[in-house]
Chains A and B, each alone.
Chain A
Amino acid sequence: DAKTTQPTSMDCAEGRAANLPCNHSTISGNEYVYWYRQIHSQGPQYIIHGLKNNETNEMASLIITEDRKSSTLILPHATLRDTAVYYCIVKASYDKVIFGPGTSLSVIP
């Protein structure tokens, strides 16, 4: 069974915030929420991860609900270069990364 559920695709206007949701209702107490993205024909790129607190870095913000059953990745000002497939992954810190289908985000001019 997949550990996460994400929409297949989303569009976002350039300059606007992109909010990418992820459901992970069966997350365990020792599992983190990780986000990676893959731009076409490139290797995956780490974005951010968190356990239960909201996190922010230079790329994005991660909002995790209090019950930890869902989260949202926020790209505050999307650019055309943010067009990519975004993967939400739930895993313990030492576990290997297993990719689901992800969300294909298209940033539109």
Chain B
Amino acid sequence: GAVVSQHPSWVICKSGTSVKIECRSLDFQATTMFWYRQFPKQSLMLMATSNEGSKATYEQGVEKDKFLINHASLTLSTLTVTSAHPEDSSFYICSARDRELAGGRGQYFGPGTRLTVT
């Protein structure tokens, strides 16, 4: 089946620094990728949708200048948390939609990245 990877799986950074999270579709091409955030004991919240070669679309309330998303190729999207603060500590999950199987079950999820900001 289709596999989505994320790197790193966990990261600790100091307040004020920036951290980049990578999301890759390993065996399929993804024209669309999605970024979610999940706080403890809460559901996943969609942050933004990125399409290859174009600007990301952010959900209401998500700061686009703080969460920079780049979808430079059909297999890679990156999320950069800029000037991270402790309240940005969360579980970040990406998802990729298979261009060939965009309908049906064609949205696949990565394993998540645990970000802790100290």
Contact = CB atoms under 8 A, between A and B. Distances in A.
A60 B86 CA distance: 39
Interface stretch (B14-22, B75-83, B107-115): B107-115
A7 B49 CA distance: 29
A45 B2 CA distance: 12
B25 interface: no
Contacts of B34: 96-97
- Decide if the interface of chain A is mainly helix, strand, loop or mixed: loop
Interface string A92-104: 0110111111100
Contact of B109 (A41, A44, A93, A101): A44
Contact of B107 (A42, A97, A101, A102): A97
B43 A43 contact: no
A49 interface: yes
Number of chain A interface residues as a range: 20 to 34
Given A42-B111, A43-B93, A44-B109, A94 B103 contact: yes
A45 B105 contact: no
A80 B14 CA distance: 38
29 contacts: A38-B44, A41-B114, A42-B111, A42-B112, A43-B4, A43-B6, A43-B93, A43-B109, A43-B110, A43-B112, A44-B93, A44-B95, A45-B109, A46-B109, A49-B104, A87-B43, A93-B102, A93-B106, A94-B102, A94-B103, A96-B46, A96-B49, A96-B107, A97-B46, A97-B107, A99-B43, A99-B45, A99-B46, A102-B43
The 10 A-B pairs of least Cβ separation, nearest first, read A93-B103, A43-B109, A99-B44, A44-B109, A99-B43, A43-B111, A43-B112, A43-B93, A43-B110, A101-B43
